[in-house]
Homo-oligomer: A and B are copies of this chain.
Amino acid sequence: MSDGLVFVRRIRRTPYTDRVEQAGVRGFSVYNHMILPKTFGMTVEEAYRHLREHVQIWDVSVQRQVEISGPDAAKLVQWMTPRDLSRAEVGRCYYVPIVDQSGGMLNDPVLLKLAEDRFWLSIADSDLLLYVKGLIIGRGLDAAAFEPDVSPLAIQGPKAEDLMAELFGEDIRALKFYRFTHVDFMGTRQVVARSGFSTMDGFEIYLDNGALGPALWDTVMEAGQKYQIAPGGPNQIDRIEGGMLGFGNEMTSENNPLEMGFGKLCKLDGTIDCIGLDALRRINHAGLTRMIRGVKFGDAPCPACATPWPVMVGGRQVGQVTSAVWSPGLNANVGLSLIDREHWDQGTEVTVSLPDGAVQGGSVQVLPFS
């Protein structure tokens, strides 16, 4: 597909896209009808090493917010997830699997509790706003839902704290993981969370007002020079080694949160009222038949995983790799795969069938890879 993507308004640019293009973006994705920059001048491996040592700036505007507010907002948010939110606090972030009546996953956003009656769901790649609208209209709830003009910018890497302290003051150092606070930027009040789609330390600035995007990008880049800041994006090596799952890749509506390893987040004892509770209880009672695992395989870099690759044991398929990349540290490919119960133990020997017909030997690994 040599000429590549045809750009149209339907695939939205972000408040940072002008700067991203000036910075020499080379590889990108489309996510929530919007451009997600992934690679710049460095190879994925070079970007991985840089991320572990310095600090990067990522345009993750594609993490759109579904804002829910009103008298029924808290009830609605709890209804949407099997995670118990009865003690949820303002100022905290919560990873919340969203499931339908069958227990199938529809999205896996991060919830920001802004107030007792106001929430953001920072979403993965599906139009969760439409689901929320359907629930509100269908049940006649007293709540409003919309997509605000909020475009997260991620600052990721071990030097992120120093950079953020320089930008927004020393207090930001005390911010704990998955908490958020407010900072001032050019006279506006902005949400900053300690979070991000990497295994490194990092922050996400939920920029509210796209018109400030170029100024925020420039401010971060300028202050970041002494920390060797570089533009980047979610890194495939870091993500897969760390066992971070991607909605649409590792999980779809065919998957339940229990088999994706989120069982501890699911309160199934009947004390909360949520969609899919009965289905999840049935699945849990019957016992899981498969579970997400890592697969370490091969001694030469695999291609990009654009379709699931069969994972085999003795001529029988026992799973499918849905994301994979060469890990320089482990000197093998690392992949993510659901694996059938009989074969999910650490070290089980498997083979992976690549699309070109090659078969690479490997073994099952409990996540994260180590």
Decide: B126 and A106 in contact? CB cutoff 8 A. Answer: no
Decide: B130 and A134 in contact? CB cutoff 8 A. Answer: yes
**Which of A25-33, A156-164, A196-204 binds B?**
A25-33
Decide: A246 and B30 in contact? CB cutoff 8 A. Answer: no
A139 interface contact, C-beta 8 A: yes
What residue in chain B is nearest A98 (Cβ atoms)?
A: B130
Instruction: Give the size of the chain A interface in residues (CB under 8 angstroms).
Output: 54
| Shortest Cβ distance from residue A356 to the other chain B in the assembled complex, whole angstroms | 13
Decide: B39 and A6 in contact? CB cutoff 8 A. Answer: yes
Copies, count: 2
Decide: A308 and B132 in contact? CB cutoff 8 A. Answer: no
A137 CB contacts on chain B under 8 angstroms:
100-101, 134-135, 138, 275
List residues 160-184 of chain A with CB under 8 A from any CB of chain B.
none
| Shortest Cβ distance from residue A210 to the other chain B in the assembled complex, whole angstroms | 12
A133 CB contacts on chain B under 8 angstroms:
100-101, 106, 131, 134
Per-position contact with B for A1-24: 1 when CB-CB < 8 Å, else 0?
111111111110100000001000
Decide: B4 and A125 in contact? CB cutoff 8 A. Answer: no
| Shortest Cβ distance from residue A41 to the other chain B in the assembled complex, whole angstroms | 11
A296 interface contact, C-beta 8 A: no
A266 interface contact, C-beta 8 A: no
Contacting residue for A1 out of B4, B322, B323, CB 8 A: B4
A360 interface contact, C-beta 8 A: no
Q: Taking each of A125, A127, A130, A323, which has the highest tally of chain B beta carbons within 10 Å of its own beta carbon?
A: A130
User: In the complex, what distance in Å separates the CA atom of A249 from the CA atom of B33?
Assistant: 11
**Which of A47-55, A85-93, A299-307 binds B?**
A299-307
| Shortest Cβ distance from residue A260 to the other chain B in the assembled complex, whole angstroms | 15
Decide: B21 and A6 in contact? CB cutoff 8 A. Answer: no
Decide: A8 and B130 in contact? CB cutoff 8 A. Answer: no
Decide: B11 and A29 in contact? CB cutoff 8 A. Answer: yes
A305 CB contacts on chain B under 8 angstroms:
8-9
| Shortest Cβ distance from residue A76 to the other chain B in the assembled complex, whole angstroms | 10
What residue in chain B is nearest A106 (Cβ atoms)?
A: B130
Contacting residue for A27 out of B4, B38, B101, B139, CB 8 A: B4
Known: A130-B126, A130-B128. A33 touches B248 (CB 8 A): yes
A248 CB contacts on chain B under 8 angstroms:
8-10, 33
A101 CB contacts on chain B under 8 angstroms:
133, 137
What residue in chain B is nearest A132 (Cβ atoms)?
A: B134
A/B interface sample: 24 pairs, CB < 8 A: A1-B25, A4-B28, A6-B27, A8-B248, A8-B304, A8-B305, A9-B249, A9-B305, A9-B306, A10-B29, A11-B306, A13-B306, A101-B133, A101-B137, A106-B130, A126-B127, A126-B130, A128-B130, A134-B135, A134-B137, A134-B138, A138-B138, A138-B139, A138-B140
> Interface residues, chain A, CB within 8 Å of chain B?
1-11, 13, 21, 25-31, 33, 38-39, 100-101, 106, 125-128, 130-141, 246-249, 275, 304-308, 322-323
Instruction: Identify 10 new A-B residue pairs, CB closer than 8 A, beyond the known A10-B31, A130-B134.
Output: A5-B5, A5-B27, A6-B27, A8-B246, A9-B306, A10-B249, A13-B306, A131-B131, A132-B134, A137-B275
